[in-house]
Amino acid sequence: MYTINSSSQVTAVTNPTNAQINLALQGPGIVITGGTLGGAAAPATLRANQVATFTNGVC
């Protein structure tokens, strides 16, 4: 067993739209349309405080 430490800079998008969230979740063979954000708090609160998308990250 071995461990590799690495780091990468990411580009974060905070407060994304439904379309941006859907696009971030899509992948080969997966298409998401019409998704909406829901939860116990108001959608604006959820979106602003709990949701972000990112790119350039290491998966």
Per the structure block, which two tokens stand in for 15? 């407060």
- Report CA 15 to chain centroid distance, whole Å: 10
Q: Going residue by residue through the chain, which has 59 residues, state the pLDDT in tens, using 9 for 90 and above.
A: 677 777 777 788 788 888 888 888 888 998 888 877 777 777 778 777 777 777 775 55
Residue 47 is predicted with a pLDDT of: 74
DSSP 8-state code for residue 11: E
Exposure string of 26-37, with b = 16+ CB inside 10 Å and e = fewer, is eeeeeeeeeeee
Helix (H, G, I), strand (E, B) or coil at 37: coil
pTM, two decimals, is: 0.59
